Amino acid sequence: MSVEKSRLFRGGRIASAVATEFVPEDVLVDGSGMIIARGKGFEVPTEAEVIDCTGCILVPGMFDVHVHAREPGQEHKETLATCSRAALAGGVTGCVLMPDTSPPVDTGNLVKSVMDLVSEQSLIPMYQAGCLTKGREGKEMAGYSGMAARRVPMLTDADHTVPCPYLMRRCMEYAKDFGVLVTSHCDTPPLSKGGAIHEGLTSYRLGLPGIPAMSQEIGIDRDIRIAQHTAGQLHISQISTAHGLKSVQIAKEEGAAITCEVSPHHLVLTDASIHDYNTHFKFDPPLRPAADVEALVQGFIDGSIDVLACDHAPHTEFEKSSEFISAPFGAAGLETAVLLIFDQFIRRGVFGWNLLIERYSNAPRKLIGQQPTAIREGEKAEFFVFDEEGQTRISSDCMHTKGPVSPFLGETLSGQIRGTTLGSRWYPVG
């Protein structure tokens, strides 16, 4: 096994969740991957590799709680290895894997087998979530004791809701007994069934079947009530409407143990962004009108939205090239999340790096019981180097995911991730 050398990250400014002003400091990482010095004027080993970070910001590694890595069973879309490379290219140094693989991960043995694959294939820590119901079919509860013994970070049927409120109640009660977080894809299938985009002016104009806002909103209200009744811990996946957010705000004021996440695409795109029937804009939940997007941005800033999560859902270009109605939902997101938030919000002064670090690095780790990471002496090195003056052209050729479908293909975003360091390894981008 090769021994890594020391690395000096020289001339950058260090970002954190608490500071708004970043002073220039150097960071020295030793061969074991630990940060052993931060500041100016300390002694540097002569053999240390120097990474020039002049003009750049060093940002703590992000953590994404909503990633579909597709392995096992759908390796034509993505693998654990390609997913981890995409994550590192996007500044993400850890993630939670959704259990909607083939077969779905609904037993302790399956959790173990994926975690064994993760340790062989992945360049970053990944934590496998377990299913709420057997086979994600929404008919009977999965076996929680085996999955809890394997320390699943959450139980979720990924992008399926549990249709029966009685079963959802039982799921929340049992998950609470095992001390495991429940993550819900809130939806009302009789309302959303067959829909392709948000029901509204754009769906009428394009002649596409709609998914009404109330489909997610009724699901959110139902699951909040079940969480309050059972006193369980509920995380709401991919919130997309102002009304849904209002329900979360009221429940939080009432003291319920509820958190929610939003995706970058729901913060920067509206349903009106969908043009030419481009299936790369097809998401579940769908993109919503501007008034919803404005409410979500406000909720992201004021803390009623706890977590940013990209819902990385790669597909092959072939799958996405079918008709809009039949194309699968979702797109790749790990490589564009930080860039989008920088380009649309941080660069324009809407909010600072500290808020992004709180919502995409600290809060998601805390949500699943992990310690947040920070760039300080005695910590494992886990950060990325970001050039605020750089630019990144989003193209499928440059993406590391196996399924480079994205609504941002062809766009040039402000900012550039130069590379990510994790422990003793340095992964330059490009």
Stretch that binds Zn ion, among 109-117, 124-132, 152-160, 399-407 (CB under 5 A): 152-160
Contact of 148 with 111, CB cutoff 8 Å:
no
> Closer CB to Zn ion, residue 16 or residue 156?
156
Length of the chain as a residue count = 430
> Closer CB to Zn ion, residue 26 or residue 311?
311
**Residue 375 Cβ vs Zn ion, minimum distance, rounded to whole Å:** 30
Q: How many residues bind Zn ion (CB under 5 A)?
A: 2
What whole-number distance in Å separates Cα of residue 346 and Cα of residue 260? 22
Instruction: Note the maximum CA span of the chain.
Output: 66
DSSP states along 7-33: EEEES-EE--SS-SS--B-EEEE-TTS
**Residue 311 Cβ vs Zn ion, minimum distance, rounded to whole Å:** 4
Burial of 85-116, coded b for 16+ CB within 10 Å and e otherwise, reads bbbbbbbbbbbbbbbbbeebbbbbebbbebbe
Question: Which CA distances in Å does 22 have to 26, 191, 212, 319?
Answer: 12, 48, 44, 44
Contact of 127 with 368, CB cutoff 8 Å:
yes
Closest-CB residue for Zn ion? 311
> Closer CB to Zn ion, residue 106 or residue 311?
311
> Closer CB to Zn ion, residue 24 or residue 72?
72
Q: Name residues contacting Zn ion, limited to 188-227 (CB under 5 A).
A: none
Phi/psi zone of residue 38: left (φ > 0), alpha (ψ -120 to 50 degrees), beta? beta
**Residue 318 Cβ vs Zn ion, minimum distance, rounded to whole Å:** 20
Q: Name residues contacting Zn ion, limited to 360-379 (CB under 5 A).
A: none
Residue appearing with tokens 């173990």: 112
- Verify binding: residue 100, Zn ion, rule CB under 5 A: no
Contact of 283 with 262, CB cutoff 8 Å:
no
- Verify binding: residue 159, Zn ion, rule CB under 5 A: yes
The residue from 106, 221, 284, 311 that is catalytic is 311
Alpha-carbon dihedral sign for residues 296, 302, 305, 308? positive
Is 311 one of the annotated active-site residues of the chain? yes
> Closer CB to Zn ion, residue 105 or residue 357?
105
- Verify binding: residue 187, Zn ion, rule CB under 5 A: no
> Closer CB to Zn ion, residue 106 or residue 159?
159
**Residue 238 Cβ vs Zn ion, minimum distance, rounded to whole Å:** 7
The pairing of strands 49-52 and 307-308 is unpaired
* Nearest of 301, 308, 175 to residue 233 by alpha carbon: 175
Stretch that binds Zn ion, among 85-93, 105-113, 159-167, 407-415 (CB under 5 A): 159-167
Contact code string over 229-248 relative to Zn ion, x by CB under 5 A: --------------------
> Closer CB to Zn ion, residue 157 or residue 159?
159
What whole-number distance in Å separates Cα of residue 214 and Cα of residue 211? 8
**Residue 97 Cβ vs Zn ion, minimum distance, rounded to whole Å:** 11
Question: Which CA distances in Å does 335 have to 43, 273, 319?
Answer: 35, 20, 20
Provide the 3-class DSSP secondary structure of residue 320.
Answer: helix
**Residue 224 Cβ vs Zn ion, minimum distance, rounded to whole Å:** 20
The pairing of strands 412-422 and 425-428 is antiparallel
* Nearest of 164, 163, 176, 171 to residue 106 by alpha carbon: 171
The two tokens of residue 29 are 């990482």
Contact code string over 302-331 relative to Zn ion, x by CB under 5 A: ---------x--------------------
Stretch that binds Zn ion, among 117-125, 156-164, 274-282, 299-307 (CB under 5 A): 156-164
> Closer CB to Zn ion, residue 223 or residue 311?
311
**Residue 115 Cβ vs Zn ion, minimum distance, rounded to whole Å:** 20
**Residue 310 Cβ vs Zn ion, minimum distance, rounded to whole Å:** 9
Active site residues: 311
- Residues binding Zn ion (CB under 5 A): 159, 311
